């Protein structure tokens, strides 16, 4: 478990996203004892949160934080052993957590349908959905043939369309729900050699905004959360690839990346998870159609 993870057990989500951090900085030094912690009840207790691609990485970070907030979880990923282990880890950390784990391939419409149906059977309803999946493979324009374009479309764009389409009937029935898509900084700054991500994640972002208008009157919110560089297996793979291409040690590749991040380090998946659970929760009840970047200050765009 990371130091971030262990530092903030269970409590309701204090407004750590920014506000309490500002206060903490302001009172560093002798006045620090005056620091106030502002606590916010996220209202996630017993809410059913479905987190796709959650055996590892960012999806697991979100699931873990949601469990710490008292949510009931439906986890899914392709590998049965991985997803069962993830569920067991959460049960160990949060002994009263309700966790349903199932295989799920977000590229397969039948698998998505089965995950939704089983979740309602096991947990009774759906209050929130995290749209997540494996990242598209790298490649430049000259390297990507039609079959890879079509696979990118299915795996990245259509997976989001299908996951959202499956949860909407239940959310509409309840006139309540929150959906969060996970994309990439490629939607704002195209990444060299990740053309499929650049193209199809922009489509997901536009889908979020477009759909937000339609479902807001039904009290369903949809937002997009953009990771910068987070310490996960996916990032390790990308760093290793760059290490080979740039003929640099892995350590040097990481250092080059750290130097481009004002906070000087990769993010921890738990830090991403905290932002995600806030957006999924009632605490964000007036937030919809938005795209938020969590990147330690890396991106230089004003908007």
Binding residues (CB under 6 A) for ligand NAP: these are 52-59, 77-79, 82-83, 104-107, 132-135, 182, 184, 227, 229-230, 232-235
Nearer to ligand NAP, 126 or 283 (CB): 126
Minimal distance in Å, beta carbon 220 to ligand NAP?
23
Which is nearer to ligand NAP, 79 or 214 (by Cβ)? 79
Nearer to ligand NAP, 199 or 215 (CB): 199
| CB count in 10 Å sphere of residue 80 | 12
State the nearest-atom distance from the C-beta of 31 to ligand NAP, in Å: 36
Write the CB contacts of 170 (distance below 8 Å, at least 6 apart in sequence).
Answer: 116, 120, 125, 126, 177
Could you tell me the smallest distance in angstroms from the CB atom of residue 80 to ligand NAP?
A: 8
Which residue do the tokens 């009172």 mark?
27
The sign of the CA dihedral 88, 89, 94, 95 is positive
Q: Tell me if 98 sits within 8 A of 124, measured CB to CB.
A: no
Of 57 and 215, which CB lies nearer to ligand NAP in the complex structure? Answer: 57
Tell me how far, at minimum, the Cβ of 197 lies from ligand NAP, in Å. Answer: 7
* 299 and 228 Cβ atoms separated by less than 8 Å: yes
Tokens of 68: 């710490």
Rounded to whole angstroms, how far apart are CA atoms 8 and 197?
33
In whole angstroms, what is the distance from residue 62 CA to residue 75 CA?
A: 10
Taking the complex as a whole, how short is the minimal distance between the CB of residue 215 and ligand NAP, in angstroms? 23
């Amino acid at each position: 478990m990371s130091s971030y993870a262990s530092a903030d057990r269970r409590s309701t989500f204090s407004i750590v996203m920014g506000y309490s951090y500002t206060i903490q900085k302001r009172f560093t030094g002798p006045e620090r004892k005056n620091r106030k912690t502002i606590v916010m009840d996220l209202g996630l207790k017993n809410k059913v949160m479905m987190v796709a691609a959650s055996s590892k990485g960012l999806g697991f970070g979100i699931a873990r934080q949601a469990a710490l907030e008292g949510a009931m979880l439906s986890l899914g990923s392709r590998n049965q052993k991985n997803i069962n282990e993830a569920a067991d880890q959460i049960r160990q950390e949060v002994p009263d957590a309700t966790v349903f784990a199932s295989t799920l391939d977000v590229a397969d419409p039948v698998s998505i349908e089965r995950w939704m149906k089983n979740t309602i059977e096991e947990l009774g309803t759906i209050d929130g959905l995290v749209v997540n999946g494996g990242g598209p493979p790298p490649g430049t324009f000259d390297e990507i043939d039609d079959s890879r374009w079509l696979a990118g479309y299915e795996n990245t764009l259509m997976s989001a369309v299908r996951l959202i389409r499956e949860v909407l009937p239940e959310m509409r029935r309840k006139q309540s729900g929150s959906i969060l898509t996970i994309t990439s900084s490629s939607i704002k700054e195209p990444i060299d050699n990740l053309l499929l991500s650049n193209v199809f994640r922009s489509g997901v972002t536009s889908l979020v905004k477009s759909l937000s208008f339609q479902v807001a009157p039904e009290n369903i919110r949809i937002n997009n959360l953009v990771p910068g560089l987070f310490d996960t297996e996916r990032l390790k793979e990308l760093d290793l690839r760059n290490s080979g291409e740039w003929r640099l040690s892995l350590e040097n590749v990481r250092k080059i990346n750290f130097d481009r991040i004002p906070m000087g380090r990769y993010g921890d998946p738990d830090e991403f998870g905290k932002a995600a659970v806030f957006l999924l929760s009632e605490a964000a009840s007036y937030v919809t159609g938005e795209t938020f970047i969590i990147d330690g200050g890396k991106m230089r765009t004003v908007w």
